[in-house]
Structure 1
Amino acid sequence: MNTSTQIRYAQVLLFLSCFTIGLLSAQEPSAWHPVGDKIKSSWAATVDPKNPFPEYPRPHLVREHWQNLNGLWEYAIVPGKLGAAPGSYEGQVLVPFAVESALSGVGRTVGKDSTLWYRRTVTLDKKLRKQRVILHFGAVDWQCDVYVNGQKAGSHAGGFDPFSIDITHHLTKGANQEVVVGVWDPTNEGPQPNGKQVVRPHGIWYTPVTGIWQTVWLEGVPETHITTTKHTPDIDHGKLFVQTAVESAKAGDQLRISAWKGQEKIAEQTVAVGADVSLQVSDAELWSPSNPFLYDLKVAVLRKGKVVDEVSSYFAMRKISMGLDAKGIQRMLLNNEFVFHYGPLDQGWWPDGLYTAPSDEALRFDIEKTKAMGFNMIRKHIKVEPARWYYHCDKLGLLVWQDMPSGDLGGNHWDMRPGITSGRQHDKDRSPESEAIYRKEWKAIMDALHNFPSIVVWVPFNEAWGQFKTEEITEWTMKYDPSRLVNSASGGNFFPTGHIFDIHNYPDAVMPRPKLFGNKQILVLGEFGGLGLPVEGHTWQDKDNWGYQSFKNADELKHRYQGLVKDLARLIPMGLSAAVYTQTTDVEVETNGLMTYDRAVVKMPETELHQWHQQLYQIKID
């Protein structure tokens, strides 16, 4: 067979192969595969459409009987805002990946003029059928209605907080149950928190995320069951305060709460349901980035001495506070000692899953790499992660600054002059609807994340993005959770409120003037750096990528970055308590990440980064 004949023969085989694949695809519409031509992470190839994210999704309230509903659901995108469910569906979407993402298998935009519908027939696990059945959603962006067997079971508005619905009374006889979810999301064309999502992505604004983007699951619970726990450590008095909410408790029911260090029970109390508990944790092993020690916690409901319901959890003994140094400058203290906080701005976006990492392994990877690079902190930037992300931070030892996702940005006035005080008003005038949405979701986020010891700072506002009633919101946040520090407006319009005075500056490392607000606030550089290096073959698009300052090669980048670290070392003795480098990874057209968007390339050697960063934590202050 000559060469030309071989080529023609190969072409025929290729045609027949493609024809066969196309025929099979037409016969099997349920076949799933990632869509689009954008780069993808290596974990995309490991996604199992039959069982994505099989891990138990709620580390702080663990029970035995649960059923994962992640996987292929039917979907339809129809005109209008919610309303009645459609009579038919147009394909399949892989939950929990947003419909715009490659890993959803759909890759379509929804928009404010349409509703995204999901449908799935669930075969209820036998272990759940004799109990009350709770339907849980990790997160759905933004407003949704939930139907079970044709009846409306509940609604929710909020794209970043988990919610649950008791669907017991909507279940029918037999194992099969129909679940339908309708979602409406105006992205940046509504007043709700939406983070970096925009209808038309560009620059620092990214692809929309609509619908279910965290794990969906069922849980079986007894009639009387624990719904929430809240743990707050007090290392100065060696105590852990625990509050527990119980559904359908009966007269005489009790709570038994015990703390464990490995297999050793170190404290236990039995009290009436509804009573707060103070556990004595003597000679506590304190949690820190260098020693992320976690205790176990068990909570049980007792009725006449018998266990009615029991959950397992964990906690850490750690303290975040502020205090004056010898120069009279406020410092950020961890466990009553100064620890310089240094970490990346972490936006938590993925080229294949958008808001959703391809797997739990991928979710943990970013944290492990951050730790390996020698950072001790992460600023989670205007996004809330799944509970397991914070669990990994707790286990690995990363301090977390948690932002409130921004929203309602139109008409903002941004005045970056550091002399601005409450005497000059630059807050945004939000509508009553917009204010109510913000307050409701911020409280829900704080409630959902309270038990994670890695979170040490709340950040209600980023820059002037939707910043409103700054002093009121800040004071409320401080009062609602006095166990953490509050960074009022990172890089925003400055008011003498909150614990932290935080400026942004690109690319150089600078700091606020110590005496600007009378030495009443901790001094922080909340964003800086942004050094860009596009890596061929690992960019969101082939050209027109950018960074705040771009470089041609890794050596130039490394030299400039090392200079920034030296500047930080000079500023720490002058009063700087923390700094946040932009950013963990490239995100869409931004190429200023320490890693590429697909996480395939670390742009500077991890060992060198680790060595440089360790020097920052060893600097002594007076």
Structure 2
Amino acid sequence: MTLLTPWGATLDAERVLPEYPRPQFARDSYLNLNGRWEYAITGSATEPERYDGEIIVPFSPESTLSGVGRQLQPGETLWYRRPLTLPAGFHAAGSRLLLHFGAVDQTCQVYLNDVPVGDHTGGYLPFTCDITDALREDANVLVVAVQDDSDTGHHSRGKQRLRRGGIWYTAQSGIWQTVWAESVPAVHLRSLTLTPLLDERCVEVTAHATADAGDAGIRILADGIAVAEATAPVGVAVRIPMPEVRQWSPEDPFLYDVTAELGADRVRSYFGMRSFGVGPDGDGVPRLLLNGRPYFHAGILDQGYWSDGMYTAPSDEAMIADIATMKRLGFTMLRKHIKIEPLRWYHHCDRLGMLVWQDMVNGGSSYHPLVVTAPAVTPLRLPDRGRWRRWFGRADAGGRDRFRAELRETVEHLRNVVSLAVWVPFNEGWGQFDAARIARDVAELDSTRTVDHASGWHDQGGGDLRSLHVYFRRFRVPRRRGDRRVLVLSEYGGYNLRVDGHAFSRKDFGYRRCRSAEDLAEAFTRLHTEQIVPAIRAGLSATVYTQLSDVEDELNGLLTYDRRVVKLPEEVVRQVNERLRHQRF
């Protein structure tokens, strides 16, 4: 069944996701290349003479909003082509023209005027091509060739599967985030690293540039008024004192603006003054800390799938609506599940005040059923090292190396996100390996956040959190037995309710079937009253309810897949979350 969200139903193919895609590193130079492209799918790596038709970028060809509706198979090549016409005065002599891709799933090669200008492997992270030297003064033609092994290879794939069903969803491919260009000076800033140091009442700024070009000028503003200035030598971390500090929190998501100048280059950014950590409450129980104080994370699982755009939200307003609706329902955290979103999604969490737990994207070969399903109903816990790696789909050393590389890239890519509180390297054994060591690696890369090293099961004793998934039994706080990590219930609930006219298929997957909205509301309230609220006093510090919306066969969302129906009374959810958030530590 074709399900359109309200935003997909009114999509303007001439203005597809036109907003600036990189809010924490913004320039005035911006040319959006979303919209109508030509496409073809071939069985070879040779560009076809004729293309098959039109595709709406950045929607994958498998999605409704792309206008294609065709599955790319392993061994095939998906071709994109469009003219590249620069507005008058957009690219000055001596400057560089950069072409940016938010994400392309999975491996791609980029050509301008038949000249190779870049390539990339990895379906979830951005990359940039300098296309200056291939540019012509007259007509230019941009071509992108994409291949996707999906779940037949070891690359990161998330919950995509060529044979979809249950908790595994339709595989998608190709360009799925914004494509855009900008013109920059020959010597320019590559990035900024912004690290708030709340206890020291300062922010640490590092300006990264294409060359050692002297000092960058940094200016910090609060509500448009300059509050601090400094010069930062390129590549050197500089601490800038803050005369007065307004803390960021979900209740007060205050953001400081930043401008950085290096020669002729000027960028805009922002940060929030906050700190994350773990520490004891008044009774000595380990808790998650926000700004040095215990703070309960009332979260919901957010998979970021859309009934019409799949991985790609149909509009910026659609992304905002998901976050704002969950905030209105009383949640303080979204667990971004096995997906990396466009940077605008994180920007909206920053400015609206929604904490984020960020999952790494799983990969590896096929997972042994005993690893990924048995622990849901048994206390099975397997080691994830040595000969056991093959059970987790991680026997291939190249695949493990690739995961580590993408983990580092993910941390750097999202390092400045104000709302990001927790890194989650592995979930339920999917492609898990050396999890305790990986947790230490993440902590070395980013010491400002906490780490949930193995969400759900196959706990290796690492990280900051003892992370449980409970669906098929009552939740009880386990004995600590000397474990001083923070206890979190990182998945639970999953009660499903079919809403006629808003379901993807005739199938109905969930963890408890409800007959009506009233039945769902009663079960939701009873679950939290009887099991979750008492557990908070006994040491539970965070919850992640499954889930924000239905996804394909899964009908256990608080929202339908098309985002048109909230399945139970909003006041019921708000009251439950109020009780969770205001339990006395």
Distance 1:260 1:293 in 2: 12
- Matched with 1:244 is 207
How big is the shift at 1:421? 8.1
CA RMSD, 1 decimal: 1.7
1:510 and 2:475 correspond: yes
- Distance of aligned partners of 1:186 and 1:243 in 2 relative to their CA distance in 1, 3 Å threshold: same
Q: Do 2:384 and 2:434's aligned partners in 1 also have CA atoms closer than 8 Å?
A: no
Distance 1:424 1:288 in 2: 39
2:246 pairs, out of 285, 296, 319, with: 285
- Matched with 1:31 is none
- Distance of aligned partners of 1:113 and 1:520 in 2 relative to their CA distance in 1, 3 Å threshold: same
How big is the shift at 1:317? 0.5
Distance 2:7 2:436 in 1: 43
How big is the shift at 1:50? 1.2
SS in 2 for 1:400: strand
How big is the shift at 1:86? 2.3
SS in 1 for 2:575: helix
- Matched with 1:92 is 54
SS in 2 for 1:60: coil
Q: Do 1:509 and 1:525's aligned partners in 2 also have CA atoms closer than 8 Å?
A: no
Q: Do 1:340 and 1:616's aligned partners in 2 also have CA atoms closer than 8 Å?
A: yes
Equivalences for residues 411-560 of structure 1 within 5 A: 411-412=367-368, 414=371, 416=375, 420=381, 426-427=388-389, 428=392, 429-506=394-471, 510-516=475-481, 518-541=482-505, 543-560=506-523
2:68 pairs, out of 98, 103, 106, with: 106
How big is the shift at 1:509? 5.8
Identity over the aligned pairs, expressed in percent?
A: 42
How big is the shift at 1:612? 2.1
For this pair of structures, how many residues does the alignment match?
A: 573
Please tell me the residue identity of whatever aligns with 1:296: D
- Matched with 1:268 is 229
How big is the shift at 1:607? 2.5
Q: Do 2:470 and 2:489's aligned partners in 1 also have CA atoms closer than 8 Å?
A: yes
Distance 2:528 2:576 in 1: 7
Compare 213-222 and 491-500 and name the one that shifted more: 491-500
- Matched with 1:575 is 539
- Matched with 1:325 is 281
SS in 2 for 1:448: helix
Q: Do 2:442 and 2:451's aligned partners in 1 also have CA atoms closer than 8 Å?
A: yes
- Matched with 1:63 is 27
SS in 2 for 1:77: strand
SS in 1 for 2:140: strand
Distance 2:478 2:385 in 1: 19
Distance 1:337 1:422 in 2: 34
1:198 and 2:150 correspond: no
Compare 543-552 and 504-513 and name the one that shifted more: 504-513
Please tell me the residue identity of whatever aligns with 2:354: L
1:120 and 2:85 correspond: no
SS in 1 for 2:169: coil
Q: Do 2:385 and 2:434's aligned partners in 1 also have CA atoms closer than 8 Å?
A: no
Please tell me the residue identity of whatever aligns with 1:216: V
SS in 1 for 2:151: helix
Equivalences for residues 353-392 of structure 1 within 5 A: 353-392=309-348
SS in 2 for 1:260: strand
Distance 1:319 1:89 in 2: 52
Compare 117-126 and 571-580 and name the one that shifted more: 117-126
Q: Do 1:503 and 1:512's aligned partners in 2 also have CA atoms closer than 8 Å?
A: no
How big is the shift at 1:326? 4.0
SS in 2 for 1:255: strand
How big is the shift at 1:38? 1.4
Q: Do 1:491 and 1:526's aligned partners in 2 also have CA atoms closer than 8 Å?
A: yes
How big is the shift at 1:523? 0.3
SS in 2 for 1:357: coil
1:225 and 2:181 correspond: no
Equivalences for residues 610-621 of structure 1 within 5 A: 610-621=574-585
- Matched with 1:32 is none
Segments of 5+ residues of structure 2 without an aligned counterpart are none
Q: Do 1:511 and 1:576's aligned partners in 2 also have CA atoms closer than 8 Å?
A: no
Q: Do 2:90 and 2:183's aligned partners in 1 also have CA atoms closer than 8 Å?
A: yes
How big is the shift at 1:365? 0.8
Q: Do 1:514 and 1:523's aligned partners in 2 also have CA atoms closer than 8 Å?
A: no
Equivalences for residues 183-194 of structure 1 within 5 A: 183-194=146-157
Q: Do 1:508 and 1:528's aligned partners in 2 also have CA atoms closer than 8 Å?
A: no
Distance 2:493 2:365 in 1: 24
Q: Do 1:421 and 1:496's aligned partners in 2 also have CA atoms closer than 8 Å?
A: no
Distance 1:177 1:600 in 2: 42
What TM-score comes out, normalization by structure 2 length?
0.95
How big is the shift at 1:606? 1.6
SS in 1 for 2:200: coil
- Matched with 1:587 is 551
Distance 1:526 1:512 in 2: 13
Distance 1:297 1:323 in 2: 31
1:177 pairs, out of 122, 125, 140, with: 140
Segments of 5+ residues of structure 1 without an aligned counterpart are 1-36, 303-307
- Matched with 1:564 is 527
How big is the shift at 1:283? 3.0
Compare 370-379 and 560-569 and name the one that shifted more: 560-569
- Matched with 1:145 is 109
Q: Do 2:62 and 2:173's aligned partners in 1 also have CA atoms closer than 8 Å?
A: yes
Compare 53-62 and 121-130 and name the one that shifted more: 121-130
Please tell me the residue identity of whatever aligns with 1:86: P
Distance 2:204 2:261 in 1: 16
SS in 2 for 1:127: coil
How big is the shift at 1:273? 2.3
Distance 1:446 1:509 in 2: 35
Q: Do 1:143 and 1:184's aligned partners in 2 also have CA atoms closer than 8 Å?
A: yes
- Matched with 2:570 is 606
Q: Do 2:207 and 2:233's aligned partners in 1 also have CA atoms closer than 8 Å?
A: no
Please tell me the residue identity of whatever aligns with 2:96: R
2:131 pairs, out of 167, 170, 194, with: 167
Distance 1:279 1:511 in 2: 46
How big is the shift at 1:447? 1.1
- Matched with 1:399 is 355
How big is the shift at 1:178? 0.8
Compare 155-164 and 327-336 and name the one that shifted more: 327-336
How big is the shift at 1:281? 1.6
Please tell me the residue identity of whatever aligns with 2:241: Q
Distance 1:512 1:192 in 2: 36
How big is the shift at 1:249? 4.2
Please tell me the residue identity of whatever aligns with 2:483: N
How big is the shift at 1:490? 0.4
Distance 1:237 1:514 in 2: 37
SS in 1 for 2:206: strand
- Distance of aligned partners of 1:546 and 1:117 in 2 relative to their CA distance in 1, 3 Å threshold: same
Deviation by residue 1:99-135 (Cα, 9 ceiling, x = unmatched): 1000000000011020101001011122322131000
Please say which structure displays the higher CA radius of gyration.
1
Distance 1:550 1:300 in 2: 57
How big is the shift at 1:446? 1.3
Please tell me the residue identity of whatever aligns with 1:374: G
